[in-house]
Amino acid sequence: MLMVVCDGVSDRPVKQFDSKTPLQAARKPAMDAIARNGISGIMDVIAPGVVPGSDTAHLALFGYNPYEVYTGRGPIEAAGASIPLRKGDVAFRCNFATSGDGAHVTDRRAGRISCGTADLARALSGMKIEDVEVIFKEGSEHRAVLVLRGPGLDHRVSEVDPHSEGEILQSKALSPSAEKTARLLNEFVRMSHETLSDHKVNKDREKQGLPMADIVLPRGAGSVGEIEPMPDRYGLKCAGVAGVTLVKGLCRIVGMDVIDVPGATGGLDTDYMAKAEAALRCLETHDLVFLNVKAPDIAGHDGDFRLKVRVIESVDMMLGRVLKDLHEEVVIALTADHSTPISVKDHSADPVPVTVSGADSRVDSVRKYDEISAAAGALGRIRGTDLLPIMMGMANRSAKFGA
Amino acid sequence: MLMVVCDGVSDRPVKQFDSKTPLQAARKPAMDAIARNGISGIMDVIAPGVVPGSDTAHLALFGYNPYEVYTGRGPIEAAGASIPLRKGDVAFRCNFATSGDGAHVTDRRAGRISCGTADLARALSGMKIEDVEVIFKEGSEHRAVLVLRGPGLDHRVSEVDPHSEGEILQSKALSPSAEKTARLLNEFVRMSHETLSDHKVNKDREKQGLPMADIVLPRGAGSVGEIEPMPDRYGLKCAGVAGVTLVKGLCRIVGMDVIDVPGATGGLDTDYMAKAEAALRCLETHDLVFLNVKAPDIAGHDGDFRLKVRVIESVDMMLGRVLKDLHEEVVIALTADHSTPISVKDHSADPVPVTVSGADSRVDSVRKYDEISAAAGALGRIRGTDLLPIMMGMANRSAKFGA
């Protein structure tokens, strides 16, 4: 089985472009071939009218109810940064930011600091606050991950990050059992300012007239839920091919083998052919291969119709490469994790087109992969959590319930 | 209301036969007339991607959530064998098998023993093990039913039947409260061997060189859940017309009047016209008549495309007979309990086509009853538990919720 997710490819018609969606405007012979040979439909990735995040959407596509397993973005970022989480840990995504006085933030991204963050992170990681250990790791640019590890933690705390310039907030417990976590979080922010203000990296930045990365603002608190790994849950050996860190983290959390593909950047410059070939190779050793391409989402966030069309055509060439060597027994699903309409420049709740084909799959009259054509297909309107079970059913990998 | 279930009729396209499904290949004017006069759709009998058993599927079609009411096949077989179950009973379906040493099984069906099983069953039924009564009844060929009746029983026990030749397993409790049941089950198997080895029927079989039916292997443990009978639940007088024992058992369990139709065998040789006439007669005295035809499923399990087409055409003639005398006020639904594709030779998770028509029902553009045509219909994609409520709504038999 091969699940291809074109991140954010789903869209709305755009008046200036003949009232077409980017999928309708693009030349995409491979995508249309998949639609022509299988059954299509539309999919509410979470539920009708719910705008999916990339994280919750992927959890749903992997068959998990995000309302049950998702507590916050932190643990997914931690997994993406290869920090193995334990039960009871609370994880946060963080920004290095510029404060000055330790009470206000003047630049939430510390001038998009691009070097020295590893040194700054080392100065924070390993600290103890009360009986709790601080694990801290830098990410790309101003991004980082914080994990608090110790007894009696609870992720239900309010944010310290004001999400704009201004006063840094005091975290409060949103549940009585989170009092300790809120206290430690506030203390961590205070200590990060104390430690980073005098750090050599910041002294150098000051000399160069750059904003100091003198405070850390954690957000997106979450703890690891009871996620049964996909191999146990479905009896499937699973591999994930993705460029972007968040999606890689999600793949790790659900127990996929995450394949590192040189040149797969998660950006517009990704090496599409390398991803195609990695996916084909994985199919030889795995039952389910998941392939994510991030670029359509980036074009959607940019609100750039022509760019999105070009990206779709590049993704289509990647799919053409996949189809050329795909065993006819493989059940392939082509879909998106959410819509990122040109007109919205952000995720939207519009359902996404989905098409599934395989050896002896039913074939409907849909001949094109796009938002409107797919809606007339024999798959009807499904939910994100239905997709993997449907693929397994078509691949004869489902168990009978009853006799 | 008349619900017609063509068991396993739903299929996948078959390459060697012009990539058609058997329903697409068959001439079936009556089925197509129902589709033409009503609204069609596809139906996940349990849920998307779930392969339904015949038992769980029918429970869903009768409006019950099988995840809530289904514990195992045993109680349904017991009901089929007309053993009235009480709350607390644990029932098993059983095979007479050949063992020799009492620890291994050499033929799970005792050479498909066809006579003498009533005598063998009488030797076992009525035994007491500790404070628990053994009720045992033969079925067709090597099949039988075991009911344990007494205090402190629980169906959550592991299997003794190895499901292939080899060592007979020791049943273990899967829940602390099932320790007693597991112990009694193991003791029953031991006693069945002790009792049957010396039985006259087996002495005769030995002389004739036939495999002895010298042990009983129970499986599919289940207890009667809290199934509210359909007459109470829906306020409907219900009748079931079915040939096959399992489906008859299900009808009894949900409180239908089970109609014995001479010549309705549940096989390929069933008397279709007798079933048609029985269904029409029942409609004069009952609010809901359920009519099951097993033959399409048999052809599917055999993987015989031409046979399945012929069977469909026979079922269609039966439906033609029904339609000839059907009062125009009757809401009729035509569907399947699951797919049994020719290419799979077993049940699959593919959704089944469903069409519903009645006096003033909406009419969509679907003109044929098959898997692909139905998917384009106005009924959309529904669940098995939705069908009966939809029929009741169309028949103006539903109560208002609210004011």
On whether residue B120 sits in a domain, the answer given is yes
Token pair recorded at residue A31:
């995508």
User: In angstroms, what separates the C-alpha of A399 from chain B's closest C-alpha?
Assistant: 6
Query: What are the E-state strand segments in A305-347?
Result: 332-335
pLDDT score at B139: 87
Residue contact B372–A393, C-beta within 8 A: no
pLDDT in tens, B169-191: 999 999 999 999 999 999 999 99
Average pLDDT, chain A: 95
d(CA B220, CA A312): 52
Q: Which of B148, B213, B154 is nearest to B187 (CA)?
A: B148
Residues of A within 8 A of B48 (CB-CB) are 382-383, 386, 389-390, 393
pLDDT score at B377: 97
On whether residue A41 sits in a domain, the answer given is yes
Residue contact A391–B49, C-beta within 8 A: yes
User: In angstroms, what separates the C-alpha of B375 from chain A's closest C-alpha?
Assistant: 5
pLDDT score at A280: 98
- Among residues B176, B207, B223, the one where a domain terminates is B223
Work out the pLDDT band at A266, boundaries 50, 70, 90: confident
Q: Are residues B293 and B348 in the same domain?
A: yes
- What is the Cβ-side half-sphere exposure of residue B196, based on CA atoms within 13 angstroms? 31
Answer whether A200's CB lies under 8 Å from A146's CB. no
Q: Is the pLDDT of residue B266 over 90?
A: no
Q: Which residue of B has its CA nearest to A40?
A: B375
Residue contact B48–A364, C-beta within 8 A: no
d(CA A7, CA B92): 50
Q: Are residues A195 and A335 in the same domain?
A: no
Q: Which residue of B has its CA nearest to A386?
A: B48
- Among residues A196, A223, A250, the one where a domain terminates is A223
Pseudo-torsion of CA A164, A165, A166, A167, nearest 10°? 70
Geometric angle at alpha carbon A355, from B301 and A353, rounded to 5°: 145
Mean pLDDT, rounded, for B134-160: 94
Work out the pLDDT band at A93, boundaries 50, 70, 90: very high
Token pair recorded at residue A283:
């199919």
pLDDT score at A326: 96
On whether residue A401 sits in a domain, the answer given is no
pLDDT in tens, B334-349: 999 999 999 999 999 9
Q: Are residues A279 and A333 in the same domain?
A: yes
Q: Is the pLDDT of residue A48 over 90?
A: yes
User: In angstroms, what separates the C-alpha of B15 from chain A's closest C-alpha?
Assistant: 8
d(CA B308, CA B322): 21
On whether residue A402 sits in a domain, the answer given is no
pLDDT in tens, A351-397: 999 999 998 999 999 999 999 999 999 999 999 999 999 999 999 99
Residue contact B42–A378, C-beta within 8 A: yes
Mean pLDDT, rounded, for A245-271: 90
- What is the Cβ-side half-sphere exposure of residue B366, based on CA atoms within 13 angstroms? 33
pLDDT score at B141: 85
pLDDT score at B82: 85
Mean pLDDT, rounded, for B111-115: 89
pLDDT score at B376: 95
Look up the domain containing B155 and give its range.
76-223
Q: Is the pLDDT of residue A226 over 80?
A: no
Q: Are residues B303 and B183 in the same domain?
A: no
On whether residue A400 sits in a domain, the answer given is no
Q: Are residues A67 and A96 in the same domain?
A: no
Work out the pLDDT band at A103, boundaries 50, 70, 90: very high
Mean pLDDT, rounded, for A49-56: 95
What sign does the dihedral A117-A118-A119-A124 (CA atoms) show?
positive
Q: What CA–CA distances, in Å, run from A139 to A120, A264, B152?
A: 12, 17, 59
Q: What CA–CA distances, in Å, run from B318 to B28, B40, B305?
A: 10, 20, 20
Work out the pLDDT band at B265, boundaries 50, 70, 90: confident
Token pair recorded at residue A202:
């910041």
User: In angstroms, what separates the C-alpha of A28 from chain B's closest C-alpha?
Assistant: 25
Residue contact A393–B350, C-beta within 8 A: yes
Work out the pLDDT band at B41, boundaries 50, 70, 90: very high
Q: Is the pLDDT of residue B226 over 80?
A: no
Q: Which residue of B has its CA nearest to A392?
A: B49
Residue contact B73–A402, C-beta within 8 A: yes
Residues of A within 8 A of B145 (CB-CB) are none
Work out the pLDDT band at A110, boundaries 50, 70, 90: very high
Whole-model pTM above 0.90?
no
Q: Is residue A125 classed as helix, strand or coil in its secondary structure?
A: coil
Give me the amino acid identity at A52: P
Q: Which residue of A has its CA nearest to B20?
A: A362
pLDDT score at B84: 84
Residue contact A400–B51, C-beta within 8 A: yes
Work out the pLDDT band at B85, boundaries 50, 70, 90: confident
Using CB atoms, which residue from B47, B56, B372 is nearest to A402?
A: B56
Name every residue in B having a CB less than 8 A away from some CB of A: 12-15, 19, 21, 41-42, 46-57, 66, 70, 73, 220, 341, 343-344, 346-350, 371-372, 375-376, 380-381
Q: Are residues B106 and B203 in the same domain?
A: yes
Residue percentage of chain A with pLDDT more than 90: 86
Using CB atoms, which residue from A362, A382, A400 is nearest to B347?
A: A400
Token pair recorded at residue B144:
């039988």
Residues B390-398: contacts with CB within 8 Å, 24+ apart? Answer: B390/B333, B390/B356, B391/B1, B391/B3, B391/B288, B391/B331, B391/B333, B391/B356, B392/B1, B392/B234, B392/B236, B394/B331, B394/B356, B394/B358, B394/B361, B395/B1, B395/B331, B395/B358, B397/B1, B397/B234, B397/B235, B397/B236, B397/B287
Work out the pLDDT band at B267, boundaries 50, 70, 90: confident
Q: Are residues B290 and B342 in the same domain?
A: yes
Q: What is the CATH number of the domain that holds A18?
A: 3.40.720.10
Number of domains in chain B: 2
Q: Which of A23, A57, A108 is nearest to A296 (CA)?
A: A23
User: In angstroms, what separates the C-alpha of B298 from chain A's closest C-alpha?
Assistant: 14
Count CB neighbours of B334 within 10 A.
Answer: 26
d(CA B341, CA B297): 9
pLDDT score at B244: 85
Work out the pLDDT band at A216, boundaries 50, 70, 90: very high
Q: Are residues A202 and A336 in the same domain?
A: no
Q: Is residue A402 classed as helix, strand or coil in its secondary structure?
A: coil
Residue contact A402–B350, C-beta within 8 A: no
User: In angstroms, what separates the C-alpha of B284 from chain A's closest C-alpha?
Assistant: 33
Q: What CA–CA distances, in Å, run from B170 to A295, B24, B162, B173, B185?
A: 57, 48, 10, 10, 9
Residue contact B350–A379, C-beta within 8 A: no
On whether residue B399 sits in a domain, the answer given is no
Residue contact B66–A396, C-beta within 8 A: no
User: In angstroms, what separates the C-alpha of B18 from chain A's closest C-alpha?
Assistant: 12
User: In angstroms, what separates the C-alpha of A319 from chain B's closest C-alpha?
Assistant: 25
Count CB neighbours of B295 within 10 A.
Answer: 27
Work out the pLDDT band at B27, boundaries 50, 70, 90: very high
Residue contact A390–B341, C-beta within 8 A: no
Q: Are residues A88 and A208 in the same domain?
A: yes
Residue whose tokens read 């310290």: A160
Residues of A within 8 A of B46 (CB-CB) are 401
Using CB atoms, which residue from A365, A380, A402 is nearest to B380?
A: A380
Mean pLDDT, rounded, for A109-126: 94
β-pair type (B51-52, A104-105): unpaired
Using CB atoms, which residue from B49, B66, B375 is nearest to A398?
A: B49
Token pair recorded at residue B174:
């899967």
pLDDT in tens, B310-324: 999 999 999 999 999
The distance between the two most distant Cα atoms of chain B, rounded to a whole number of Å, is 75
User: Running DSSP on this structure, what letter comes out for residue B276?
Assistant: H
φ, ψ for residue A219, nearest 5 deg: -155, 175
pLDDT in tens, A284-336: 999 999 999 999 999 999 999 999 999 999 999 999 999 999 999 999 999 99
- Among residues B207, B223, B239, the one where a domain terminates is B223
Token pair recorded at residue A362:
């039913």
Residues of B within 8 A of A363 (CB-CB) are 13, 19, 372
Question: What residues are paired with B94 via a beta bridge?
Answer: B144, B218
pLDDT score at B297: 96
Q: Are residues A216 and A94 in the same domain?
A: yes
Alpha helix segments (H runs only) across A109-258: 117-124, 179-197, 200-207, 230-234, 245-253
Residues of A within 8 A of B10 (CB-CB) are none
Residues of B within 8 A of A355 (CB-CB) are none
Work out the pLDDT band at A68, boundaries 50, 70, 90: confident
User: In angstroms, what separates the C-alpha of B49 from chain A's closest C-alpha?
Assistant: 4
Q: Are residues B353 and B258 in the same domain?
A: yes
On whether residue B402 sits in a domain, the answer given is no
Query: What are the E-state strand segments in A102-177?
Result: 104-105, 128-129, 132-138, 143-149, 166-167
d(CA A83, CA A148): 12
Residue contact B349–A382, C-beta within 8 A: no
Residue contact A394–B349, C-beta within 8 A: yes
d(CA B265, CA B274): 11
On whether residue A277 sits in a domain, the answer given is yes
Answer whether A338's CB lies under 8 Å from A51's CB. yes
Residue whose tokens read 């005091």: A170
How many interchain CB pairs under 8 A, A with B?
Answer: 101
d(CA B135, CA B218): 13
Q: What CA–CA distances, in Å, run from A247 to A61, A259, A371?
A: 12, 12, 24
Q: Is the pLDDT of residue A85 over 90?
A: no
Q: Are residues A184 and A271 in the same domain?
A: no
User: In angstroms, what separates the C-alpha of B326 from chain A's closest C-alpha?
Assistant: 31
Mean pLDDT, rounded, for B3-13: 98
Burial of A317 (0-12, 13-18, 19+ CB in 10 A): middle
d(CA B42, CA B23): 14
Residues A183-187: contacts with CB within 8 Å, 24+ apart? Answer: A184/A129, A184/A130, A184/A132, A184/A148, A184/A153, A185/A92, A185/A148, A185/A157, A185/A160, A185/A218, A185/A221, A186/A160, A187/A129
